[in-house]
Structure 1
Amino acid sequence: MTASHPQSAREVMRFHLIYHGQLPSSGNKAKPEDVMRIRREISPQLKYLWETHHALSVLRETAVVKREGVGTQRIGHGLSPRQLAEQYPSEYEHLAGPLAVRGKSYLPLVRESLSLSCELSVLFLRQDEPGKLLTQGGDIDGRMKCLLDALRMPSGDEQERAPPPEDHLWCLMEGDELVTRLDIETDRLLIPRSEHQHEVHLDIEVTINVLKVGHHNMALL
């Protein structure tokens, strides 16, 4: 399951996300409560990344653009670009700020407005014998679809069906269409078998690419 990214894409960041828990097959459509549970498990890792990665700290302060149709740019006031966007939201757009979904706040890293895409390489460990993923653990496509749904922001309807208790969550991406490559390696999880049929351990290597360089994403370079 692989798609090539555009030749102009430029790698700017690489990191790992870890998930250990149940990963059921989505069938035709993943259950919102399963997706939200996994999203909430991964959120603290992305929060920590935003707090400790210098380039992301700079990105949050500088990824601001003037909205179309706005006249002369404000100068002075001793305000940073982020502060300008917060004080004058009708004039400036904060491209690395949180996004609202029906009263909840989400902070995705990979988003179209920042001209970013991502590649995922997943080490998929499960409690089945080698080669039995399809017959014992459910279809791999369905289980990976559940994971991809959890790595993105929810739609309003999905959140309505499974609202998180937190007011703010961190997500990898705004939408799963921003994944340009997906590689999966499966193997056996060598821990005592649990009572949960769909228990897995995932090591997700994330590669962030810039598709188009501009001042809005220059901090990542």
Structure 2
Amino acid sequence: MSLITEAVQRLETQVCGSGCEDNIVTLKRNPDGPVCQYVRGVTVAGYYGGRIAHITTNFPIEANTRVSFMFGAALDTAPQRMAALGIMNAVLGFLCLERTINACGATRYSDCQRDLTARIRGRSIYPVGTLSLPSGGGEVYAANPAAADIILITGDGLCTDEGLALCEQYRDSGRLLFIGPETSGLCSLLDLPHWCPYGRASPGEDA
């Protein structure tokens, strides 16, 4: 079982029998949606029960599907895994169990850069997935995850076979830090460390 299928199983336990699992979630590209400054890709909105959750990814998928499509599914491709992350965010947002389901607005970018720089200053980091990090923070890039103080994981990084395997390997190391709204629902379900201090419950909410 991967981190993603484990999180899906946790969500299934929470919603099974409530009727939520039978409702439709829509995944649709939204180029005008909020984007985390550290990630790159296509912005996809997940619509569920009046809630909107945005993710940014290089594995975009558009679909109308029941939440239950994830339950028991292998989720063995990167687009399927990213779709699962988006669906989890939208459903948890609807249930008021996770609020960081949209990136902050550009007005908070500098605040987030300042805080993240303070978090990683003087520490060796290893990115999993493409990251555009602030420069000048004194961080050192490790040659491999074993040498890193902090392993930073994006949603796209998590959705690859290699990223999932690495996260499993270092899950209990205390060095994983998932970054961006893409992974917020998964981290909430699995109680994993997550960085998105200025993320929003809705795209129109003041950051």
Return the TM-score normalized by structure 2: 0.28
Return the TM-score normalized by structure 1: 0.26
Asked which structure has the greater CA Rg, the reply is 1
Higher helix share goes to which structure?
A: 2
Instruction: With a CA cutoff of 8 Å and minimum separation of 6, indicate the structure with the bigger relative contact order.
Output: 1
